[in-house]
Structure 1
Amino acid sequence: MKVEPITSMKDVKNIKRLLQDHPRNLLLFIMGINSGLRAQDILTLRVVDLLDKRVGDRIVVTEKKTGKQNVAIINKEIADTFQKYLEYYECEADEGQFLFQSRKGKNYPITTYRVTGLLKEWTSAINLKGNYGAHSLRKTFCYQQRVHFGVSWELLSKRLNHSSPSVTRRYIGVQDEEVESILLNNI
């Protein structure tokens, strides 16, 4: 069953508010919706990968699924959230630890399965109906970029390393309401 993007900015803000006292989970959510990377690739990041990075700096990631290199750019939201994360966890003593470590310890990241569980918890906590999972983070990035920032299908396709914009359109899923809304345009 396919997962959905979080389409409402209000819901995005509600989840951010919900996670304010949980720096690891907030950073996971922020990185997921701001980078466009797959959750499995975000989970490979270590503290050292973000340490000393500033807004505009790049992090190079090798995608597990494709083996291709991809980048994440540190934006202000990621930088600010990472700073809070560092202050909370006092990570600088062990820079090699995973950003999103599991209960097994600093040498083990949480799993994509756990990210799916977290997304389900967060969306349930704000009474958001639908099917959400780890991939909802990436899909939320795409949806918000397209709807709120007007980013073209072509650019999104390139960002996601999809073979064509039509693959990206199927991936995000165009809602019936969006198609029907064009019928209100006056020509």
Structure 2
Amino acid sequence: MRKSKNSNHPAKGASIKVEPIRTLEDIERIKTMLQGQPRNLCLFTLGINTAYRAGELLSLRIADVIDLRPGAVLDLKQSKNKEYRQTVMNKTVYHAIQNWLQQHPKQNDLNAPLFLSQRKNKSLTVAAVNLLMKSWCYEIGLIGNYGSHSLRKTWGYHQRVTQGQSLTLISRALGHATEADTLRYLGLLPDEVGALYLNMEL
């Protein structure tokens, strides 16, 4: 019996921008699905609660996070510009990390990758995270294009739409040159331009 095709996989050779996860309900559905997968739940939770790229998250070692508590600063080198950027640990991320560390197969090796690959005994790759994100979104019935960048796009999207944070702050956190870049990156440019016409009637 053939498996149904994953609609979140773009056609071969296609260049497609991935989307954020736009509803809090869908985020919770993925978290519920990953409850028995502490590594994946930690990866997903850390990804959507920071503005780090997948490659930056995968550079983490146990030593980087083992002593962090809520409110502590995590300082990671950005893969794009090699500059360090800080994020602050929230309680949700703290609990996800602690839950995974308790079950990490190399929990006593401080130099071990935080997100360990089960097959190669090394860190997960960005390609693997890309496939994981596609499969998680597919499993809960999301239609669209999702991948590793969906993690940080989800953070930025909900900072803007759910929390109402300023584009200036979000752009700075994402390392974008302009606020228009951020709106395009998050898929919000058409929405916010359209709102200019709907929100005022002269």
> What TM-score bracket applies, with the shorter chain setting the length?
over 0.9
CA distance in 2, matches of 1:158, 1:178: 19
1:25-174 matches, within 5 Å, as 25-89=40-104, 91-102=106-117, 103-105=119-121, 108-174=122-188
**CA offset digits 1:141-168 (Å, max 9, x no partner):** 0001101111111000111111121211
Report the TM-score, using the length of structure 1 for normalisation.
0.92
**CA offset digits 1:77-129 (Å, max 9, x no partner):** 11011111122226441121101111211xx2111111110001100000000
For structure 1, list consecutive stretches of 5 or more residues without a partner in the other structure.
none
What amino acid sits opposite 1:165 in the alignment?
E
| More displaced stretch, 168-177 vs 20-29 | 168-177
What amino acid sits opposite 2:67 in the alignment?
D
More strand by share: 1
More helix by share: 1
What amino acid sits opposite 1:132 in the alignment?
Y
Shift of the 164–180 alpha-carbon distance from structure 1 to 2, 3 Å rule, reads: closer
Report the TM-score, using the length of structure 2 for normalisation.
0.86
SS of 1:29's equivalent in the other structure is: helix
2:54 and 2:149 in contact (8 A); partners too: yes
Q: Compute the displacement of 1:175 (Å).
A: 6.1
| More displaced stretch, 3-12 vs 56-65 | 56-65
CA distance in 2, matches of 1:4, 1:174: 11
CA distance in 2, matches of 1:180, 1:169: 13
Q: Compute the displacement of 1:132 (Å).
A: 0.2
Identical-pair percentage:
40
Q: CA RMSD in A?
A: 1.6
> Does 2:33 correspond to 1:18?
yes
| More displaced stretch, 113-122 vs 87-96 | 87-96
For structure 2, list consecutive stretches of 5 or more residues without a partner in the other structure.
1-15
CA distance in 2, matches of 1:132, 1:148: 20
- Counterpart residue number, 1:6: 21
SS of 2:87's equivalent in the other structure is: strand
SS of 2:103's equivalent in the other structure is: helix
